[in-house]
């Protein structure tokens, strides 16, 4: 039995990945804030699925999740970080789209030895081209901030979790039907096969610190822009690293 935790697994990208992984040999734990969405999701996913209602941007929500996971499984094979919002301001962007991911990983790291972490990011060209900039005064600036800073987080976690044999990668899911914003509600694509591919493809078993597109192809990242030194310098403004 594989134990897989998907934050944001109650809708959109996270739910699509949960659907692709659900089955008799998978124990899925999905997380979201909205109780009724979570209960509908586990109904649709079938047996071996648990829902945790927690706001991961808060200390209380983080404790609810880590307590639940630690009392229900002795290890995690994979952690998919798909919880996210279209932020209305800088604080929400920092707390929900960056700090919460770091805190979930920190809280569950002991259970992840030998496992895989996947971070959902966004459009490859935007990740490659957007500058790393701390200004978040417009929606476009906040979107650029979240893509670049999540990529820096992937680079930082991949390097610092290597000694625990935990791989950390990020990927673009494609343009997927979701609750994120009016535009994504109008999309028709409801499958995200790249999530399962990155978790199960044998040739990628030891890949880490890599960004993939929605076809599972490696997207090259500028090694100076997305270096461990840059990640540590930039992220230390927001995270206790
Ligand atoms: N959809 C796309 O086309 C697309 C493209 C590129 C990247 N992405 C990225 O994919 C990720 C998922 O977005 P989505 O499009 O799938 O949107 P979505 O349908 O709104 O899913 C977001 C998920 O995150 C959960 N969530 C949000 N804030 C949370 C919090 N504070 N604590 C716990 N759970 C929280 C939501 O649960 P509740 O609703 O219960 O809060 C929901 O399960 C985001 O990072 C987004 O930027 C999406």
Q: What are φ and ψ of residue 82, in 5° steps?
A: -115, 0
For residue 198, the model assigns a pLDDT of 98
* Residue 133 contacts residue 81 (beta carbons within 8 Å): no
- Using the structure block, give the residue that is written with the tokens 């594989």: 2
**Pocket mutation for ligand 1, best pick of 5, 84, 92 (most atoms within 8 Å of C-beta):** 84
Residue 9 Cα, ligand 1 centroid: separation in angstroms? 8
CATH number of 2-235: 3.40.50.720
Residue 11 Cα, ligand 1 centroid: separation in angstroms? 7
pLDDT tens-digit profile of 89-123?
A: 999 999 999 999 999 999 999 999 999 999 999 99
Q: How confident is the model at residue 142 (pLDDT cuts 50, 70, 90)?
A: very high
For residue 44, the model assigns a pLDDT of 98
Report which secondary-structure segment, H or E, holds 19: helix 12-21
**Token output for 26:** 């998978």
Mean pLDDT of the chain: 98
Q: How confident is the model at residue 188 (pLDDT cuts 50, 70, 90)?
A: very high
Length of the chain: 241
Which residue's alpha carbon is nearest to atom 29 within ligand 1?
83
pLDDT tens-digit profile of 7-56?
A: 999 999 999 999 999 999 999 999 999 999 999 999 999 999 999 999 99
pLDDT tens-digit profile of 195-223?
A: 999 999 999 999 999 999 999 999 999 99
Q: Which runs of E-coded beta strand occur in the chain? A: 2-7, 26-32, 49-53, 78-81, 116-120, 167-171, 211-212
Output the ligand 1 site: residues, CB below 6 A: 7-8, 10-14, 31-34, 37, 54-57, 82-85, 96, 120, 122, 173, 175-176, 178-180, 184
Residue 127 Cα, ligand 1 centroid: separation in angstroms? 18
Q: Give the chain's count of helices (H) and strands (E).
A: 10, 7
Q: Would you list the domain boundaries of the chain?
A: 2-235
């Amino acid at each position: 039995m594989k134990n897989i935790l998907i934050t944001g697994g109650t809708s959109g990208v996270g739910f699509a990945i949960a659907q692709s992984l659900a089955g008799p040999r998978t124990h899925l734990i999905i997380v979201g804030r909205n109780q009724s969405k979570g209960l509908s999701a586990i109904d649709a996913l079938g047996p071996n699925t648990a829902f945790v209602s927690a706001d991961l941007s808060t200390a209380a929500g983080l404790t609810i999740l880590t307590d639940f996971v630690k009392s229900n499984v002795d290890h995690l094979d994979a952690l998919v970080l798909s919880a996210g919002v279209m932020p209305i301001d800088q604080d929400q962007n920092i707390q929900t789209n960056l700090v919460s991911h770091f805190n979930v990983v920190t809280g569950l790291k002991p259970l992840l030895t030998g496992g895989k972490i996947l971070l959902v990011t966004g459009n490859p060209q935007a990740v490659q081209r957007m500058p790393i900039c701390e200004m978040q005064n417009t929606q476009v600036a906040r979107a650029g901030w979240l893509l670049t800073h999540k990529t820096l987080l992937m680079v930082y976690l991949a390097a610092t979790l290597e000694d625990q044999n935990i791989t950390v990668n990020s990927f673009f899911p494609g343009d997927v039907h979701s609750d994120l914003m009016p535009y994504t509600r109008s999309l028709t694509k409801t499958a995200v096969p790249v999530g399962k591919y990155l978790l199960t493809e044998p040739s990628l078993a030891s890949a880490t610190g890599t960004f993939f597109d929605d076809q599972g192809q490696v997207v090259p990242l500028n090694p100076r822009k997305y270096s461990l030194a840059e990640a540590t310098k930039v992220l230390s403004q927001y995270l206790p690293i």
